Structure 1
Amino acid sequence: MNRRRLQHSLSALTMAAATAVGAATVGASPAHAALSNRSCGTVTDADAAAAAQLNRVLTGKLAHAMTPYRASCARAVITTVRGLGLPDRAAVIAVTTAIVESALENNPNMVDHTSLGLFQQQNFWGTDEQRLNPAWSTTAFINAMLRTYPDNSWQTQDIGTVCQKVQVSAYPDRYGAQASDAQKVVDAIGAATPPSGPAPTPATALPSAATVYNPDTGTAEAFAIGADGAMAHAYSTNGGAWTDWSTLDPSFRFTGSPAVVYNPVNKVTEVFATGTDGVVSHNYLFNGGQWSGWSTLGSSFRFSGSPTAVYNEATNAVELFGVGTDGVINHTYNINAGPWAGWDPLDRGYKFTGRPAAVYNPDSRTAEVFATGTDGIVSHAYSTGGSSWTGWTTLGPDFHFASNPAVVYNPVNKVTEVFATGFDGIMSHKYLFNGGQWSGWEVLGPDFRFGSSPAAVYNASTNAIELFGIGPDGVLNHTYNLNAGPWAGWESLSTNYKFAGTPSVVYESGVNAAEAFGIGADGVISHAYNANGSPWSQWTALGNWKFKTG
C-alpha cells in the first residue's frame, strides 16, 4: 500500500529542570567549564555522612573523591530503581554505569557528541531536560536493560556485561572495574534510603483533540479545549469541508483533553471533559437536535487526569473512566442513554496516572480499560457481557512506560493491541488474539523516539491498524500493520509541521478514510487523511483558533 509519512511533532514530555550545583571533577570525567552540574535533589546530612564513609573504602574511579553532591546523585538513582520495584542488583548496575559515564555527576555539557546527564545519554534517548532529570534518565536506562535482558535474565549476568550491552560503549571493559565500588555505594547510601522510594511518575498526556465518527449522519467531529479553557468543536459531513470551530457553552472551563463517544442505538453523541476544579462534566447531542449544555457528573468526585469513554454494545451503555486525585480509577456509565450511575472505584489497590484507554471487542462482548500505573506499569481490567469489572492485572512488570496507553481492536483478525511509550521514548506494543494469551511487550522501531502518548485506529478499508506518535522534534510519525502482519517502518508525515500535543485519529466508514489530527506548536489544529489506502494528504489547518498545547 502506497503511504506517505505522517509528519508529527509533539513537544516532548519533560520533567522540571533542576537547579545548578557545582562539583569537582574526577580523573577523566567531563569538564564543566560551560555549565555547572545539575542538581540530583537536595543534598542532605545523610549524603555528607555517606560520602565520608565511602571515601574510606572506595578504590576505583571515585577513590577519595566521593562528595555529598555525588552521594545525592547516587541516592536519586537508587530511589528510582527501588521505586520501580526492582532489587538492589539493578541499582548496582545503574550506579556502576553512572560512575563510568559521569563520575556520578549530572553533567549538562555535551561532551561526547550529544551525551548528557548521569548516564551520558545521547539525544536519541530523549530531550535535554529528560536526560538531565535523574528519575527519568535512570528509568530510561532500566527500561533499556529490561528489554535487552527479558525474563529478568540480567539478574544472573555479569554486571559489567549488562552495563555494556545497554550503553554499547567503545570502552566495554571500564564497567566491570567499577562494579565493586558501586555495590559499596548502594550498600552505604541504600541503608539510609527508604526501601521503596517513589517511582518517577509517568508523564500524563499533553492536550489532544478528541474525534468521533457518526455513521448515521456521516459526520466526523473534532473537539478540543481552547487556550481560554472553553470547549470548541468542528465537523465534516460525508468527507466535505470542515466547518469553522464553535464553542460549546463558554461558561465552563476545562483542562487536559476531552473524550467523545457515539451511541448508535440511541443516536446520541456525548463529550466529556475535566473542569479546572477537577469535576468531570458532559454535553450531549441527539441526532437532529441541539447540544444539551454542560452538566456535572458527580461534583463530589475530583479527577487529576482526562477522562476516556467507550460504547459497550453488550449493554447499550456508555462507559466512562477517569483517574481520581488519589490515583484510583473511577468508573460510571449510563444505559440506553438514561441517567448516569454514581462513580465507582475499580480496585483501590492500584494507583494510576494520566489518562486510561478503553476498547470494546464485539466478538467476545468485552469492554476493556488500560492504564499506566504510577510505577510506569500498564495494567488492565475488563467486563464481559455486562458482568462486573474484574480487578486490575499488570501486563508485564518488566516494562515501564512514561505515556498513556492506546488500544485498538481489529475485528477481522480478532486481535486487541495496546501501545505505550517508554521513558526512553521507544514505543512498544502488546497483543492478544481472541482465545489466546497476551504476547510479551515488543518494541516498534528502536531507532525512533517519541515524546507523546501513542494514538491508534483500525482502518477497515485496508484491514490495517494505524499507529501515530509525535517525536521530540515535534514531527508526527506513522506506522501500520496489514492483516495483523509485520509492522511497517516508521515514517513521518511531513517534517514541515511541528506539533505540541498528543495526536488523535478517527476512521470514517462512509468515505473509507482515516483522518489524523494534531495540535501545532502554535496552538492551531491541523489534519491529514488517507482514503482507501491512498497516500496521506498534506497537513491542512482547521481554521486559526488557538488551543491548549500544554
Structure 2
Amino acid sequence: MKNPLRRILPIAALTAALTTPMVLNAGPAHALLPNRSCGAVTTSDSTTAANLNKVLTGKLRNAMTPYRLSCARAIAEATRARGLSDRAAVIAITTAITESVLENNPNKLDLDSVGLFQQRDPWGSYENRLNPAWTTNAFLNAMLRLYPNNSWQNQQIGVVCQKVQVSAYPSRYQPEAADAQRILDAVTPVSSPSKVHLEIVGGDGGMWNTDGDYAVGEWSGAWASMGGSGLKHLTSAVTGNTMHVYAVGAGGRVFTKDANYSTGQWSGDWAEVPGAIEGVTSLSASVTGNTVHLNAVGADGAVWATDGNYTSGQWSGSWVSLGGSGLTALASAVTGNTMHLYAIGAEGRVFTKDANYSTGQWTPEWVEIPGNGSGATAVTAAVTGNTVHVEILSSDGAMWNTDGNYATGEWTETWTSMGGTGLTALTSAVTGNTMHLYAIGAEGRVFTKDANYSTGQWTPEWVEIPGNGSGATALTASTTQ
C-alpha cells in the first residue's frame, strides 16, 4: 500500500521521478529477490496472456505474462471462495495492477510494502503479506469494514480501491478497472450455465420466481413472491453471476431488482432505472461484457435505449431514440460483440436492427426478417453459437420459429410452426446447446418446450412448469452457473 507521507526528495530527483516513464521490470542495481509464486501456471496461460496483450490498455498493455495471469487467478479464487461477487474481484485486481503490476513482489522497494497489494507492516507478517489468499482476504476485509452493508457495490471502483489503500495517487486506480475486468474474464473457467431463473408477473401485479436446474433435471417446485405491484412487462439479463430483472411499473416507468446467485441474495427494493422514461409498453435487455443494454418501446411506438455498466455501477442516465413507429414488442440477442434487436411492427411483421459494440455503430434502418411472417403478437430470441433462434406467437396463439446465422449472414427464409394454442407471451433461455422456450398458456399457466441444437430435435409437447402457478401475464428467463 502506498503511503501518502513520502520522504522529501531534492528538486532534481523529484523532477526525474515525475518525468521518467515507469518501466515495469525496472529495479534497483542491487540483486532483487525473485517474485513469489501465486500458484500454478497452467498450460493455456501463455495463449491467454498473448490474447490479453491484444486488448489491454492500461499499465499492463503488452505486458501480460503467464505469471501475472496466475496472480490474477489467485485473487479471483480468494474472492469467490468467500462468496463475494465478481465486482469485488475486479476491485481487488484493479488494486493489484496499480500497486504491483500483478507481481507478488517480496522486495521492500517502497518503505516496508510488499506483495500483490503492496501492504505495509501493520497489515500483517511479511510471510502473510506474500501469501496470495491471505493478502487478498486482508484487502477484502478492509473493504468490507470501510463499506458496511455492501455499500462498496454502488461506488466507483477506483474510489473503493483508494479508500482501502490510501494512496498518494488516488487517480491511478480507475483507469485500470476495465483491464481488471478483461483479466478476470480471461481467468474465469468457462462452463455452460445450467440454472434457469424464470420470473412472471402474477395476477396480483407482483413478480414471482421459480428456478430450474437442467444439470439435474429439477425445478424448485414452487413460485416465490418477489414483490412489486402493478407490473406489466418483464425482461432480464445476467452479468457475472448476478441476474438483473427489469419491469414496467406505474406510469410506464422502468424499474430494476437484482438477484446475486453467488450469495443467494436479492436486492431489497425495486429501483427506477435512471432517465425518467414513461409510457413504456415493452422491454428487452442484452449484455456485452458487464454492460446491460436496455431497450424499450415508448409511448410513441419507437424504440428507446439506455445502458448500465455494472462494473462501474453507473447508467448512461438518459434514453436515446432508435427510431421506428407502431412497434408493439421487443426481443434481443447477442453474437460476438453485436446486439441484434427484434421488434414487431406494422401488420405484426418482425424487423431487426443491430448495434456493434466493437465499433459503437448501429445499422441505420430496420430490416424485415425474411419469410413473410405476419400477425405476430409476441417475440423472443436466443443464441446458440452464431445462430439466433427467433420465435413469435401468431394471432391464433401458436408459436413459429426461424433462424439466422450471423456467421454466414443467412436466414432460413421461412417460419416453421412449433405448435401450441392460446399462448399469450414468450421468453427463452439457453443451457449448453439447448434452447428452452417458456410460454404463458391457458389460465395464465406457464409451459416449456425445448430445442436441442446438438441433435436438431424439439421436444414434442409443451409441459407445465411445476408449482401450480396461474394468472401470469408476463415472463422472462435468464441463466446462471
Q: TM-score, normalised by structure 2?
A: 0.49
Higher RCO (Cα < 8 Å, 6 or more apart): 1
Higher helix share: 2
